[in-house]
Amino acid sequence: MDLSLKIDTVEDISVEDFKKNYLVPQKPLLIKGGIIKKTPAFTKWSVDFFKEQLGNLEVDIYDNAKIKSKTTALTGGDLKMKFGDFMDVIKENKPTTLRMFLFNGFKHKPELQNDFPKPPIFAGLINIGFLFFGGNSTSVRMHFDIDHSNVLMTQIKGRKKVILISPEYNDLIYKIPNNTFSLVDFDKIDYEKYPAMKYVKGYEFVMDDGDSLFMPSAYWHFNVYVDGGYALSYRKMAHSFADKYNGFMNVTFRLLLDKFMTKVAKEKWTQMKIDGAMRNAERAMQRLGVKA
């Protein structure tokens, strides 16, 4: 895999420039602090503040060490914890496999959204902000967002390493059919088993506290929490018709099909998905005229 692509990086950006140079052409962008600095969250959203606001809430925690299936979407947490206790895990900053995914904190405390409203560059109909929390060293497997929405992820606290890959590499990255995941374990890439990975190109960079990342529709991302930390992601509806259509099909037909087939055909369906991903990667290498 070649991770030498350089992501465009700015301190801040106007709505017009963002639309013209990044949203319409669907090009990733890293914004160094310019978004969060205009919000109260910049000084307010500390570990202790979150503990005070939501500390007693029981939340779903995902444990990477207990991942049930590498070929299906995550449907629920692996354990429950008091949110306040999980914030202590983050604060401790010791290696762990625990994280929280797609946490809708604003549902529990709507006034939190006043601290970090949806940034003007992402203005639109959808106004949901999801929070992501993770302990030191934990990672989020390589995936793209199921509804193909554009994502603006702001790292509130803690460094996060990101590998970002364009959807043009869907086949070479071993995309699992009818799913939004790769067969490949990005914590330790096995090039013998997944030779097409040698021909994938992407971006690799570390986000610092306060950085915002624009991920265009269906961009693959693999995130590693270098420090215990948390992020807020806002979404904006897909720009192209194809992304809108695919996002809609993913959250309706494809997700249901996968759940149903996993239930009725179990290992056989899993094997069909693995075979499909391997075959697509093989064909993509043939199209490129390269060998395993």
Ligand X SMILES: O=C(O)CCC(=O)C(=O)O
Pick 145 or 243: Cβ nearer ligand X? 145
Given a contact cutoff of 8 angstroms between Cβ atoms, the answer to whether 106 and 70 are in contact is no
Given a contact cutoff of 8 angstroms between Cβ atoms, the answer to whether 132 and 99 are in contact is yes
Smallest distance from ligand X to CB 131, Å: 9
Smallest distance from ligand X to CB 236, Å: 12
Pick 178 or 233: Cβ nearer ligand X? 233
Smallest distance from ligand X to CB 235, Å: 8
Per CB under 6 A, residues contacting ligand X are: 99, 132, 134, 140, 145, 151, 153, 221, 223, 231, 233
Smallest distance from ligand X to CB 74, Å: 11
Pick 99 or 254: Cβ nearer ligand X? 99
Q: What per-residue string of b and e applies to 265-281 under the rule 16 or more CB within 10 Å gives b?
A: eeeebbeebbebbeebb
Residue nearest to ligand X (CB): 132
Pick 71 or 217: Cβ nearer ligand X? 217
The strands making up 220-225's β-sheet, listed across from edge to edge, are: 2-5, 201-207, 160-165, 220-225, 139-143
Pick 54 or 215: Cβ nearer ligand X? 215
Pairing of strands 139-143, 150-157: unpaired
Smallest distance from ligand X to CB 62, Å: 9
